[in-house]
């Protein structure tokens, strides 16, 4: 594993029962970059994040983070590694009975012995980074969708992680909030020296902020490359995805019998 690589994924396989989601997936995530994992819904992107975080055990292959094979770690070592990871969940995942301030303070109180005075200063710094220092006293039900995502982002960077993962960070946001979140992801990655993994199907927004893209389909990486190459790619899957075309490798219709058969009609020919 190269010192420039933070996450190495090799021949990764995973299945939910008989449903094989990942079928020998390979990719590397370099340090200090924003990497996009792109593909249609259900292609295994979120499953991949769970394997990186050690929530799931692979059926084959491995995930290495900072040189450590995640699924081989004992509970104590896995717990220690997770402290170096941040996660922004699709739905935010905020504690509804805690204020904005306490949501961000929670991982600091849970995982450190820092005095409250220092935690206060750190929380305000994290909230300021996402533009919500003035909202520290609000409860989660007083936040808009975009504000909730920003609080979730502040919590994700609370412990200054080396790696931060975003699961569909743009889903359900209005255009203004979407641009705000995207710009914050890019700005925080560069300012804090993070490595970021962005899982999304929003190709247009992703290409504004990522350095490198992996396209996942049918359990494997079908295409990859830096942003400039992706935009001009003639690869059928990438072209369909970038341009939002209905016809292409990704089929609109789930495989089925001929329509006439389902309606009990005889097929006609001309």
Domain ranges of the chain: 32-56+76-262
Q: What is the pLDDT of residue 145?
A: 86
Name the packing angle between helices 100-111 and 116-129 (round to 10°).
130
Q: Which two tokens stand for residue 189?
A: 């990655």
Q: What is the pLDDT of residue 28?
A: 96
Best-predicted range by mean pLDDT (142-156, 217-231, 251-265): 142-156
Q: What is the pLDDT of residue 270?
A: 47
Confidence of residue 173 (pLDDT cuts 50, 70, 90): confident
Q: Flag whether pLDDT at 246 surpasses 80.
A: no
Percent of the chain with pLDDT over 70: 91
Other beta carbons within 10 angstroms of residue 265's beta carbon come to 10
- Is residue 224 helix, strand or coil? strand
Give, in words, the CATH class of 32-56+76-262.
Answer: alpha beta
- Which ranges of the chain does DSSP label H, i.e. alpha helix? 45-52, 75-82, 100-111, 116-129, 145-156, 175-192, 203-209, 227-231, 236-243, 259-262
- Per-residue pLDDT of 70-124, as tens digits, reads 999 999 999 999 999 999 887 668 999 999 999 999 999 998 999 999 999 999 9
Lowest mean pLDDT among 50-54, 95-99, 228-232: 228-232
Lowest mean pLDDT among 84-88, 121-125, 258-262, 264-268: 264-268
């Amino acid at each position: 594993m190269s010192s420039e690589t933070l996450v190495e994924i090799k021949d990764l396989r995973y299945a939910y029962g008989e449903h094989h989601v990942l079928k020998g997936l390979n990719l590397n995530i370099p340090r200090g970059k924003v990497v996009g994992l792109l593909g249609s819904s259900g292609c295994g992107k979120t499953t991949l994040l769970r394997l990186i975080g050690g929530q799931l055990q692979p059926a084959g292959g491995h995930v290495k983070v900072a040189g450590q094979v995640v699924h081989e770690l004992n509970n104590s070592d896995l717990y220690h590694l997770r402290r170096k990871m941040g996660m922004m969940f699709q739905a935010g995942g905020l504690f509804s009975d805690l204020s904005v301030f306490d949501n961000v303070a929670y991982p600091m109180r849970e995982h450190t012995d820092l005095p409250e005075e220092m935690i206060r200063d750190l929380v305000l710094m994290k909230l300021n980074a996402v533009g919500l220092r003035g909202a520290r006293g609000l409860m989660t039900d007083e936040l808009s969708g975009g504000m909730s995502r920003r609080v979730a982002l502040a919590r994700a960077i609370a412990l200054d992680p080396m790696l931060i993962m975003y699961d569909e960070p743009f889903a359900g946001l209005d255009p203004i909030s979407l641009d705000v979140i995207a710009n914050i992801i890019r700005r925080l990655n560069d300012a804090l020296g993070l490595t970021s993994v962005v899982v999304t199907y929003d190709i247009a927004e992703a290409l504004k902020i990522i350095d490198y893209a992996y396209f996942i389909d049918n359990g494997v990486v079908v295409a990859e490359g830096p942003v400039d190459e992706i935009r001009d790619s003639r690869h059928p899957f990438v072209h369909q995805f970038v341009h939002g075309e209905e016809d292409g490798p990704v089929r609109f219709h789930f495989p089925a019998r001929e329509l006439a058969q389902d309606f009990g009609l005889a097929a006609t020919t001309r």
